[in-house]
Structure 1
Amino acid sequence: MRWNNRPPGSNWGDFGPDDQLGRINLIGREQVLKGAAEIREGRSFCLSLPLDLPGGNALNPRRHPPRLEPTYRDDGKPVLNFPMVRVDQDSVDVISDDQVRITLQYSTQWDSLAHVGACFDANGDGNEEIVYYNGFRAGHDIKGPVEYGLHGEEGACGCDGPHLSHAEALGIENMAVHGVQGRGVLLDLARHFGDERKLIGYDELQAVMRMDDVQVEAGDVLVLRTGFAEAVLRMAGNPDPKVLHHACSVLNGRDARLLEWISDSGIAALCADNYAVEAYPATDMQGRKSILPLHHHCLFKLGIPLGELWYLRELADWLHANKRSRFMLTAPPLRLPGAVGSPVTPIATV
């Protein structure tokens, strides 16, 4: 057993001692059929931004846009518009072959359960360890080039082989193998609150759900439209952080009733068209507490993956015009073993 003490309000162990899927386990065959039942028109919507947006790294200095380049032959020649000529054979073929250097959580993305952990006394001995969902450990299960203790001491390298980081547990490939296909439910905050910055807590969320007659059931993927991704798209690769950091609705991760509703609702995943789903940094930072309380609650305690920077305008408009809020969602991440996040091209089918 990796832990003797689990965080209050968490579901560690509920899906088994070695579970790495969390609430994605709730998306089973029945939930896939519920999603399929929402397909009535045979129309699909792409819910991804172009993966070179937001543009630059002004919104997050450590995340950089993708860089495309050709692959190269042994003689150093780029394989782009490259005639395939052999000494013993004439050919009409021309080949182009490329590669990309990409920050996996730069644009439309999934956060895996290895994305956010916490300092927590999982052993129950009065000492904190760095742990992730279901008690998986930093250094042993989630490895990096250099591991740091709780007080910043430099330790030994925790990663062997070709990678400089690798989630031996909770990697994004677990979601990819599952498939992440089921019923999505859209809540359109932008239609009610516009583009102004507004903290959304339990009361505001429930009010919109009542007004729009939105029903959420266990195993659903809840998708929130705030208008943020649309603002990013309008900026055409030149995002203005001063504008974006003060724009559109955002969940209030400090609202205890909102977090309790997320626990009780049974949602399998939570996605939004904004940068972090919740306000960052959170309000009320007095004392020692999480800077990202909703991430802490969802990823660390409950195993609820988060989707960020999804693009939702056309889907939202269509659902509103047709008095619907549910759709079939297909959103597997890359099957990239050991990654803690992934680009995704979600598809909604109605």
Structure 2
Amino acid sequence: MTRWTRRPEGSNWGEFGDDDQLGRLNLITAERRLAATREVREGIAFPLSLPLDFPRGEYALGPRKPPVLASTPLGHNHRFLPTVPDVVSDDLAVLHLQYSTQWDSFAHHGGVFDLDGTGEPAICYYNGYRADVDVIGDPAGSVPPHADALGIETMAQTGVQGRGVLVDLERAVGHERVAVGYEMLAEVMAEQHVTVEAGDILCVHTGLTAIMLDLGDDLTQEKLNSCAVLDSQDHRLLQWITDSGLSAIVADNLAVEPFSLDPAPGAESVLPLHTHCLFKQGIPLGEMWYLADLAHWLREHERSRFLLTAPPLRLPGAVGSPVSGVATV
């Protein structure tokens, strides 16, 4: 039984089934994975994640914090028995799951919409899953916040393996802060001979995570606001995302799109691309991926496609996850 009688304009709710939780990841079929494997010609692998304690500097002053390592009761250099030489080290980590290189699940970003046509909007998520029913988010409630639907584990179970396609915006505009709309993106893709097909994972290289690594503790908010972003105010760009059939978007910047807590009057969202992708279309978003080495290699070899393997943690109920993706060329 469907959870809604009305769906937001521009959404694809229900098109993959009433109970679908995978969205456009459904487009990564066995045939698309086989096509992705045919992009492997050299056998070279590129890791696509930052160290989990990056970014540093002023970014670490925000609400998301770097990981904290500690020992379990076994401790470090613990001997099981004094009569045998076995020694074991065991530890634990406290992680903000979306501090560093990450995937956003569909439970990360929702909206307020009149699902039933009664005139009473409800807080909801992709495919009509509802707050306080399917996604529990009150930290003061009797039940800890978690996602009973749309959690990151649903994404992990797919393996998230398909064909990655890289657009090199750093090559086109350097480190200038540019909002890249549909026309500019189309021009760059044409110049770089980039084609996106159904099921492809679009990777947007701007150069920002390389700056994060280079600056380390000296990273400033000014530098965090450098490099290109996708222009989420451009409705033609959002429509292209819908029409292209891409299955996911990842970028090496903070949010793929610009972010401001002071939106223009009448704005429907502070993060229109998040709303369009995560809420309406079921397109996962990846942020702060390390794409520099891969981008430079692809640039030198006049290529843009590769096999991408990037499952998140299979952590039930989580709304986001660190990811250690690998591109194989």
**Category of TM-score, reference length = shorter chain:** over 0.9
Give the Cα–Cα distance (whole angstroms) in 1 for the partners of residues 206 and 304 of structure 2. 15
Select which of 303, 306, 318 maps to 1:324: 303
Query: Residue 35 of structure 1 aligns to which amino acid in structure 2?
Result: A
What is the RMSD of the two structures over their aligned residues, measured on CA atoms? 1.5
The alpha carbon displacement at 1:49 in A equals 0.6
Give the Cα–Cα distance (whole angstroms) in 1 for the partners of residues 58 and 179 of structure 2. 25
Give the Cα–Cα distance (whole angstroms) in 1 for the partners of residues 20 and 154 of structure 2. 10
The alpha carbon displacement at 1:84 in A equals 2.6
2:193 is the counterpart of 1:197 = no
Aligned to 1:22: 23
Give the Cα–Cα distance (whole angstroms) in 2 for the partners of residues 116 and 104 of structure 1. 15
Select which of 304, 308, 325 maps to 1:346: 325
Aligned to 1:96: 89
2:252 is the counterpart of 1:251 = no
Contact residue 6 and residue 116 of structure 2 kept, 8 A: yes
2:268 is the counterpart of 1:289 = yes
Aligned to 2:10: 9
| Structure-1-length-normalised TM-score | 0.91
Deviates more, 1:276-285 or 1:167-176: 276-285
Identity %: 54
Give the Cα–Cα distance (whole angstroms) in 1 for the partners of residues 127 and 95 of structure 2. 29
Query: Residue 279 of structure 1 aligns to which amino acid in structure 2?
Result: P
Aligned to 2:45: 44
Query: Residue 273 of structure 1 aligns to which amino acid in structure 2?
Result: D
Structure 1 counterpart SS, 2:273: helix
Decide whether aligned partners of structure 1 residues 316 and 288 sit closer, same or farther in structure 2, where only a CA change above 3 A counts.
Answer: closer
2:256 is the counterpart of 1:277 = yes
Contact residue 84 and residue 93 of structure 1 kept, 8 A: yes
Aligned to 2:77: 81
Aligned to 1:217: 197
| Structure-2-length-normalised TM-score | 0.97
The alpha carbon displacement at 1:72 in A equals 1.2
Q: Figure out how many residues of one structure are paired with residues of the other and give that number.
A: 328
Select which of 312, 315, 328 maps to 1:333: 312
Deviates more, 1:219-228 or 1:90-99: 90-99
The alpha carbon displacement at 1:282 in A equals 8.1
Contact residue 58 and residue 220 of structure 2 kept, 8 A: no
Aligned to 1:207: 187
The alpha carbon displacement at 1:59 in A equals 5.9
Contact residue 64 and residue 99 of structure 2 kept, 8 A: yes
Give the Cα–Cα distance (whole angstroms) in 2 for the partners of residues 174 and 35 of structure 1. 22
Give the Cα–Cα distance (whole angstroms) in 2 for the partners of residues 217 and 305 of structure 1. 16
The alpha carbon displacement at 1:337 in A equals 0.5
Identify unmatched segments of 5+ residues in structure 1: 74-78, 148-156
Query: Residue 289 of structure 1 aligns to which amino acid in structure 2?
Result: E
